[in-house]
Structure 1
Amino acid sequence: MSLANQVLAINNDLPIRTDKPVHSGKVRSVYWLTDADSRRLIQQKGYNVQPDAPLAIMIISDRISAFDCIWHGEGGLKGVPGKGAALNAISNHWFKLFKDNGLADSHILDIPHPFVWIVQKAKPVMVEAICRQYITGSMWRSYTQGERNFCGIELPEGLEKDQKLPELLMTPSTKGILKDIPNVPEADDVNVTRQDLINNYQAFNFRNTDDINYYEKLLTDGFTVISHELAKLDQIFVDTKFEFGYVTDASGNEKLIYMDEVGTPDSSRIWDGAAYRDGQIVENSKEDFRQVLLNYFPDPDVLLNKERMPERFALAADNALPQDILMQISKIYTNIAEKITGQPITLSQDPKNEIIEILRQEYQLID
């Protein structure tokens, strides 16, 4: 079995019964189930949702994106071996811990396979909820250029690169392009202030202004839970992105839940604690891959300058990265997943056929 066959790169072509288009993001594909299949599964499996709630199958891939591009390797390697299983395992672990700690539920109802989630449809809050405990990355770049106000929060003078911040910062940005909001440009991923959220709570899909306090509590509590657990492994939780949405449970209660993924190497920066105390940064997240790309290509400005997107897309399409680069990233993902969960990440021999068999035999979702 070649390494390329153990990678699930294309995840939008499975024969799952659906009457809607398959939605594919950079890493996951979503198959909305038919009303009949949703109702049947809710009844058969006893999911805590309304009897007519729309359900979806969410399938992760091993694709890797960075700088808004999908990258590939030599030898037909269209992704990073073990990456998908590692991301799902980490998210599953944190979601369970959140529930155990009395935080909120997630959109996940069932986990048929390491690559697969059965999820309920949520009404998303249109905010990328970002939490930062250290000054690094884009925030540090802006700070060096004299910026001190981030999402309405004033940072002090004299901070140094990669330093721990005086307090945990919440720096939200828009999720998608939102229109007709005062002081908020109509573009994706634009920084907003807490006051922007309060003044325009309906435009961001919040039910009321009290829920902005609740989302901030879930954000900081979730960050704290993960940070404490990672500290036990001598890993530093640097920053992360959370997403939230509303669902209605079987009793008719509308509630705010965690969505997407949490605390993964794709959505967070995680540093090695021992190296940090030694004055070095060792990334246990996708940030390592970004740094590798910046060092690998002779003109890193192509990767950093959004005005050169056509060149950037061409760079990703035309360059098969050395296999050892993707295997280095594989090791980062699988190692941190095994540390966090205490369980081995094993590579599927044929992930696509495994998924098809499980969804056919146990869920009757494939004819």
Structure 2
Amino acid sequence: MSLANKVLASNNDLPIRSDQPVHSGKVRSVYWLTEADSRRLIADKGYDVAADAPLAIMVISDRISAFECIWKGEGGMNGVPGKGAALNAISNHWFKLFREQGLADSHILDVPHPLVWIVQKAKPVMIEAICRQYITGSMWRAYSKGERDFCGIQLPDGLNKDQRLPELLITPSTKGILTGIPGVPEADDVNVSRVDIENNYSSFKFRNLEDINVYEKLLREGFNLISDSLAEIGQTFVDTKFEFGYVRDKQNNEKLIYMDEVGTPDSSRIWDSASYANGKIVENSKEGFRQLLLNHFPDPDILLNKNRMPERTALAEDNLLPESVLMSVSDTYTGIAEKITGEKITLPEDPKSEIIAILSEQYDLID
């Protein structure tokens, strides 16, 4: 079977029983189960959630997005072989470690297939919880132009590109468009300070002021746990994004959990430690693909300038990437996943058929 057939590019057309439209993001698609199926699975599988908790099937694709566009390859390869399985495996590994170390639970209840999660519905905190241990990327670009205030945190003069910061910085941004918050623009993904969050905690969907401390504690502990684990395999954890939400357990107690994905090459920068010590950056994350795109096209400003979004969209649609490029990205994703988990990432022969068979035979969720 060709490599293109092993790629799950379309993940919003599975015959999973649902009475709601499929919610499809850049990489994942979410199928909300019927109330009857949710209750049945909770009872049959013994999930630690409230009996009436809404459940969903979350299917990850092998699509790759960068600069807010989906990129495709030659020969019908509309994604990166092994990428979805690698991302899920890494997230599963860290979420399990968080739970075992007593940090917090995640939204994942079950993993029927390497590309599939069964999740409980969480009420998300409207923050992209970004934390940075090194000054690079967008923060460096802003710093090099003279900016020193980042989310209310003042950085000193004299920092160098890719330098380790004096402390772990929490630089949150808005998740979605929030309205009516003084001093916070009504736009997605704008930086906010801790003072902004404290003064408007209910607008950010925190239950109370104390939970701001809880989210920061979970963020720091989660970051440090991943950072220490990566250091043991010769990798440097540079920066990442966490997301949080509220769920209820069997006893109907509300708790703050980790959600979305965590510590993956899509949501984080990961550098090879030995190369960094020798003054060279070797990316083991999506940042390497971003840099490749910036070098691949003659006018990189199209990819960096939000005012040129129509040109950027056309660039992604009109330019199929060489198979060698996507396979290089595949090697990066599967390689770091295997280092982190200690297990081989196996490419499914026919991912869609496998998923349908498992969800039908073991979960009775296929119409």
Instruction: Pick the TM interval, shorter chain.
Output: over 0.9
Task: Please name the residue that 1:42 is paired with.
Answer: 42
Distance in 1, matches of 2:347 and 2:281, equals: 29
Amino acid at match of 1:312: R
Distance in 2, matches of 1:112 and 1:252, equals: 25
Q: Tell me whether 1:354 sits opposite 2:354 in the alignment.
A: yes
* SS of the residue 2:75 aligns to: coil
Distance in 1, matches of 2:252 and 2:356, equals: 33
TM-score calculated relative to the size of structure 1: 1.00
Distance in 1, matches of 2:123 and 2:112, equals: 24
* Structure 1: 5+ residue stretches without partners: none
Task: Please name the residue that 1:244 is paired with.
Answer: 244
Amino acid at match of 2:94: W
Task: Please name the residue that 1:290 is paired with.
Answer: 290
Task: Please name the residue that 1:224 is paired with.
Answer: 224
Distance in 1, matches of 2:17 and 2:134, equals: 45
Distance in 2, matches of 1:142 and 1:301, equals: 16
Distance in 1, matches of 2:289 and 2:193, equals: 30
Amino acid at match of 1:285: S
Task: Please name the residue that 1:78 is paired with.
Answer: 78
Task: Please name the residue that 1:159 is paired with.
Answer: 159
Distance in 2, matches of 1:278 and 1:364, equals: 54
Distance in 1, matches of 2:97 and 2:53, equals: 25
Task: Please name the residue that 1:191 is paired with.
Answer: 191
CA displacement at 1:328 relative to structure 2: 0.4
Counterparts of 1:294-313 in structure 2 under 5 Å?
A: 294-313=294-313
Task: Please name the residue that 1:131 is paired with.
Answer: 131
Task: Please name the residue that 1:69 is paired with.
Answer: 69
Task: Please name the residue that 1:5 is paired with.
Answer: 5
Cα deviations across residues 209-240 of structure 1 (Å, max 9, x unaligned)? 00000000000000000000000001000000
* SS of the residue 1:271 aligns to: strand
Counterparts of 1:260-339 in structure 2 under 5 Å?
A: 260-339=260-339
Distance in 2, matches of 1:101 and 1:156, equals: 35
Distance in 2, matches of 1:218 and 1:232, equals: 21
Task: Please name the residue that 1:215 is paired with.
Answer: 215
Please list every run of at least 4 consecutive aligned residues from structure 1 whose deviation after the TM superposition is greater than 3 angstroms: none
* SS of the residue 1:321 aligns to: coil
Cα deviations across residues 129-184 of structure 1 (Å, max 9, x unaligned)? 00100000000000000000000000011000000000000000000000000000
Distance in 1, matches of 2:282 and 2:145, equals: 25
Task: Please name the residue that 1:140 is paired with.
Answer: 140
Counterparts of 1:54-133 in structure 2 under 5 Å?
A: 54-133=54-133
Number of residue pairs the alignment of both structures matches: 367
Cα deviations across residues 315-359 of structure 1 (Å, max 9, x unaligned)? 000000011010000000000000000000010000000000000
Task: Please name the residue that 1:16 is paired with.
Answer: 16
CA displacement at 1:363 relative to structure 2: 0.1
Distance in 2, matches of 1:100 and 1:20, equals: 34
Amino acid at match of 1:218: L
* SS of the residue 1:49 aligns to: coil
Distance in 2, matches of 1:247 and 1:53, equals: 9
Cα deviations across residues 274-303 of structure 1 (Å, max 9, x unaligned)? 000010000000000000000000000000
Task: Please name the residue that 2:364 is paired with.
Answer: 364
* SS of the residue 2:180 aligns to: coil
CA displacement at 1:128 relative to structure 2: 0.2
* SS of the residue 1:105 aligns to: coil
Amino acid at match of 2:306: K
Distance in 1, matches of 2:360 and 2:20, equals: 19
RMSD of the alignment, in Å?
A: 0.3
Distance in 2, matches of 1:109 and 1:97, equals: 15
CA displacement at 1:189 relative to structure 2: 0.3
Distance in 2, matches of 1:75 and 1:194, equals: 48
* SS of the residue 2:239 aligns to: strand
Give the percent of matched residue pairs that are identical in Structure 1 and Structure 2: 76
Cα deviations across residues 226-276 of structure 1 (Å, max 9, x unaligned)? 000000001000000000000000001100000000000000000000000
Task: Please name the residue that 1:172 is paired with.
Answer: 172
Distance in 2, matches of 1:315 and 1:3, equals: 24
Distance in 1, matches of 2:127 and 2:16, equals: 31
Amino acid at match of 2:330: S
Amino acid at match of 1:329: V
Cα deviations across residues 59-86 of structure 1 (Å, max 9, x unaligned)? 0000000000000000001000000000
Distance in 1, matches of 2:140 and 2:296, equals: 22
* SS of the residue 1:166 aligns to: strand
Q: Tell me whether 1:342 sits opposite 2:342 in the alignment.
A: yes
